[in-house]
Amino acid sequence: MLQNPLNLVVGVDEVGRGPLAGPVVAAAVILDEKQPISGLMDSKKLTEKRRIALADIIKKQALAWALGRAEVAEIDELNILQASLLAMQRAVDNLTVQPTHALVDGKHCPHLPCSVEAIIKGDQTEPTISAASIIAKVARDQEMCEWDKQYPNYGFAKHKGYPTKMHRTALQQYGACPIHRRSFAPVRNVLDRE
């Protein structure tokens, strides 16, 4: 990892705590103060088209960005909170530049090699966390669209694994597939019935 004498703040956020399927994906972004990016906000408040456009801009203009993830097996083994923190840790570890301080969305801090500050609703107030939330959401959504091709019965491209009525109905009808989180009650209930 390259050392940097500057005071570098990294924004960290994860996407995918609520879904019944797929990994939890985190992103870490260090923005370049010399190249501010307008329109950064909580990824959930942006249209899909705007998110994708912003993700491209962030990747081009940020000083550094990286993704981290925790797989379904890790989510089931650790629990979703610990898996989310692990994904965040991995995102920061994957950076090519060592940050001096981290701003993390939420109220829990992952173990990082720098000082860490948790900010509730940070993706709405801190541009660097907003940037991380956008990168993470675009990456996870694209992955769920890929899974949709492999498991077309569930509609992953539409709901991205979240527990929508459509997803719950498909789960009842077809049972769980390999990317379903077995520790989540709706999936566990279907498995217990089988």
pLDDT band for 6, please (50, 70, 90 cuts): low
Q: Given a cut of 60, is residue 32 above it in pLDDT? A: yes
Question: What pLDDT shows up at residue 37?
Answer: 94
pLDDT digits (tens, 9 = 90+) for 112-130: 999 999 999 999 999 999 9
Indicate whether 30 belongs to any domain. yes
As a whole number of angstroms, the distance between CA 18 and CA 104 comes to 18
Q: What is the CATH number of the domain that holds 82?
A: 3.30.420.10
Question: What pLDDT shows up at residue 42?
Answer: 86
Indicate whether 50 belongs to any domain. yes
pLDDT digits (tens, 9 = 90+) for 53-91: 999 999 999 999 999 999 999 999 999 999 999 999 999
Q: Given a cut of 80, is residue 158 above it in pLDDT? A: yes
Indicate whether 193 belongs to any domain. no
Indicate whether 26 belongs to any domain. yes
Indicate whether 105 belongs to any domain. yes
Q: Taking all residues of the chain, what is their mean pLDDT, rounded to a whole number?
A: 95
Give CB contacts under 8 A, 24+ apart, made by 173-181.
177/21, 177/151, 177/153, 178/72, 179/21, 179/22, 179/72, 179/147, 179/151, 180/20, 180/21, 180/72, 181/19, 181/20, 181/21, 181/72, 181/75, 181/76, 181/80
Indicate whether 120 belongs to any domain. yes
Please compute the mean of the pLDDT values over residues 134-150 and round it to a whole number: 97
Q: Given a cut of 70, is residue 5 above it in pLDDT? A: no
Indicate whether 130 belongs to any domain. yes
Indicate whether 20 belongs to any domain. yes
As a whole number of angstroms, the distance between CA 137 and CA 118 comes to 19
Q: Given a cut of 80, is residue 140 above it in pLDDT? A: yes
Q: Given a cut of 50, is residue 180 above it in pLDDT? A: yes
Question: What pLDDT shows up at residue 165?
Answer: 97
**What's the domain count of the chain?**
1
Q: In which domain, by residue range, is 97 found?
A: 9-151
Percent of the chain with pLDDT over 70: 97
Q: Given a cut of 70, is residue 1 above it in pLDDT? A: no
Percent of the chain with pLDDT over 90: 92
Question: What pLDDT shows up at residue 4?
Answer: 47
